[in-house]
Structure 1
Amino acid sequence: MWISTMNVSMLDQVAVGSGASLVNLVVHAILVGAIAATLRDLADTDTSFPGFVQYTLVIVATGTLLVIGHFGECVIWAYTYKWVGAVPENTDLIYFAFGNYTTLGYGDVVPVPEWHLLGPMTALNGVMLIGWSTALVYDMLHRSVRTPKQQG
């Protein structure tokens, strides 16, 4: 535990939550950039795969990479909670982070009162990054569909 749970101010909570959010934003930007660049290169190559197969591969590859990325982002939040001692002892940190990140929040585990803002900050970060992923999937699928003019 890095920060004592005594005398934790709102500013401390916002600083820690903003730091974790920023790290996740950078991780997600790198992931989305790599996916977009790879798919752009794939679209520029002449392929012998039928459009349906290429379309399916784009969906599966993009979805798989994004799920892995979101899992990693939840792990960053879990380590953040551990680092500051934001949850009760013996809490499954990954479970807690996923619940907050996805806004599911079962309510069976709550942060210690001194760190209560980290849950909503995790949720805000998760909503933003999941929305960004959704936009990427939509854009990539939209671009990967070959129109008769593009098929030449």
Structure 2
Amino acid sequence: MLQFLVGTLVSLVSIGLHALATVVAIGFARSAGLRHTARPRSHLIGVMMATAVVLMVAHMLEVLVWAATYGIVGATAVENGLLYFAFVNYTTLGYGDVTPVREWRLIGPLTAMNGVLLFGWSAAVLFEVLRKTLDHLEAAKAPGFTKS
């Protein structure tokens, strides 16, 4: 039961970090995406790249939180590489070359479940930023468009 409690708490921290990153990414995308530009393709690429970078930083911070948790609870030996173990679990890569101690063997699947959820969330954010930016760029071409 302790594994589920710890996994749930760390997942909530990760979700909170991701929510914050989403707010930052969308705020940036809105302000940058609404600018009138003479080079719409380059502008779109810049908005998408910046959004992706913010989300990737969030994922890396989330992996760091999982790695720290592994160290705190003693889920695996430190010499096995806590950060590596966290990345393998979070990304569902699953090499299997580092395994948790028996008492914490559910922490990997809980981490993977969190990572899958947050990667899906990131994909949805990227798609929405792309859609909104494209909508704005199309509207900017229309006659009578006023900069807002």
Given the two structures, how large is their TM-score scaled by the length of structure 1? 0.87
The residue type paired with residue 60 of structure 2 is F
Counterparts of 1:1-152 in structure 2, within 5 Å, are 11-45=1-35, 47-145=36-134, 146-147=137-138, 149-152=139-142
1:41 Cα deviation after fit:
2.1
Cα distance per residue 1:7-59 (max 9 Å; x no partner): xxxx10001000110000000000001111221122333x3341101101012
Q: Judging changes above 3 Å, is the alpha-carbon distance between structure 1 residues 31 and 54 closer, same or farther for their aligned structure 2 residues? A: same
Which one scores higher on RCO, CA 8 angstroms, separation ≥ 6?
A: 1
**Cα distance between partner residues in 2 of 1:68 and 1:80:** 18
Cα distance per residue 1:119-151 (max 9 Å; x no partner): 00000000000000000001101111122x442
Query: Is the partner of 1:90 in helix, strand or coil?
Result: helix
1:62 Cα deviation after fit:
1.1
**Cα distance between partner residues in 2 of 1:64 and 1:19:** 26
RMSD (Å) for aligned C-alpha atoms: 1.2
**Cα distance between partner residues in 2 of 1:67 and 1:42:** 19
Unaligned runs of 5+ in 1: 1-10
Q: Judging changes above 3 Å, is the alpha-carbon distance between structure 1 residues 81 and 104 closer, same or farther for their aligned structure 2 residues? A: same
Q: How high is the sequence identity, in percent, across the aligned residues? A: 39
Displaced runs of 4 or more, over 4 A: none
Q: Aligned residue pairs: how many?
A: 140
Given the two structures, how large is their TM-score scaled by the length of structure 2? 0.90
1:3 is aligned to none
